Structure 1
């Protein structure tokens, strides 16, 4: 995992709780405690976390700084490939629920070529990409827009989802771990994903390879709740992603199809 990717994941894990220890971050990221301390020192230098005895806590400004806008350009070429690969799995004429996230925005752009489609979105950014596109019947799931992310969450979003059925749920994810399963950094996002999983005939999960082996704080579901996992080819390279091959093997054992883009 590259340093910048690791810093991003470290910051999001710190944001997921009031305070997190160095040992917990080491366990969730699969790196040494020395590496975690060095990364926390860098994040503190940038004013994004506050070091405390044995760990760190998020500053009030860190959520805004590391939100959707900050991550949108991250690994853009990889996310573009993933977006195209996911869209190709969606049959024209079907009903799709599209999750929030920087990668699913790329999925939204490629879904236009799969029209006609009915697409329900959990992201204001995805809604902008799909609005007024020929052949796209767009439904914006109501709810609270989460600050910094513009994902749609909360009780209203959950109640709306419970009244619907989808052919395919395209789910983004913060972490996928061989034993812990699918997980997310924010409790509100995890709750939406859990409800959406129950309403879809098929679930396609998409995430870049940096998410493999990561345990975010909020468990969404076991690995076998997904049908297909789309990630980049680096996921199968133990040199750059030490937990990648193990995680992919666990997914295959759980009956999840793997697409490397």
Structure 2
């Protein structure tokens, strides 16, 4: 160590085979990518992987947590959701792809040309958006930037973007302006998802998301909630709405029988696809 280097400085052992010089921005991006792919990892493992000190790793993780990419826990970091933490959109885009695709295919059968359809900012409804091109003419309303980019310029789709304050963690627009825009509309169908379903209620970790989704349900003649098996039997911090507020719950074939029984007992219409 030279006199200019101190413990915790951003220094890499570049003599090691395959190890590149670690710049903080590059390293943080690679840490984020790893956590998004693998779900969670300890700080010790990250320090060894990137050939930096524990102090440097903790600074990186503090910055990634500040940006909403990961959540910290004692000794490590995770991109997975908890009852109070919603996963970053990058993690959600990778998770449960097969189940999302199956639910999207079923949801598509519920849409007819000429409808006005609202999609929330979930990665589940993004899969449905990929299937809309041949259902035109169609009006699609959404606050999810990924869906907006996907449908921009698609022939036959009239696209209405819901504005508001941009939330990087969700890659969507939220807040009072978004809610007011939703309240000014009346749509044929809403397709939405959420983080958790337990008993007769849907839940979400963040109150801003809850308020937007409630406004969407109120603005739709018919609402469809798309939730894969990993979200059933779980609760989150905020109660979003009773399942009686939606017309149909769409889940996948891995849904636990006790969760399906609970919906039947509460007279909730559902389909497992």
TM above 0.5, yes or no, is yes
Residue 245 in 1 paired to residue 245 in 2? no
Distance 1:84 1:212 in 2: 20
Paired residues of 1:227 and 1:255 also in contact (CA < 8 A) = no
> For residues 141 and 249 of structure 1, do their structure 2 counterparts lie closer, same or farther at Cα, with a shift above 3 Å needed?
same
Residue 215 in 1 paired to residue 227 in 2? no
Residue 254 in 1 paired to residue 266 in 2? yes
Residue 203 in 1 paired to residue 223 in 2? yes
Paired residues of 1:80 and 1:106 also in contact (CA < 8 A) = yes
What residue in structure 2 maps to residue 125 of structure 1?
146
Deviation at 1:196, TM superposition (A): 1.1
- Match runs of 1:1-261 below 5 Å: 43=40, 45-46=42-43, 61-62=64-65, 63-65=68-70, 66=79, 67-179=88-200, 181-235=201-255, 244-261=256-273
Say which structure, 1 or 2, has more relative contact order (CA 8 Å, 6+ apart): 1
Deviates more, 1:76-85 or 1:138-147: 76-85
Larger Rg: 2
What residue in structure 1 maps to residue 58 of structure 2?
none
After superposition, the CA RMSD in angstroms is 2.0
Deviation at 1:44, TM superposition (A): 6.8
Distance 1:104 1:232 in 2: 14
Deviation at 1:69, TM superposition (A): 1.3
TM-score, scaled relative to structure 2? 0.69
Unaligned runs of 5+ in 2: 1-38, 45-60, 71-78, 80-87
- Structure richer in helix, relative to its length: 1
Which digits, 9 at most, give the CA deviation of each residue in 1:56-109, with x for residues without a partner? xx9562322441112212222221112111121112211111011111110111
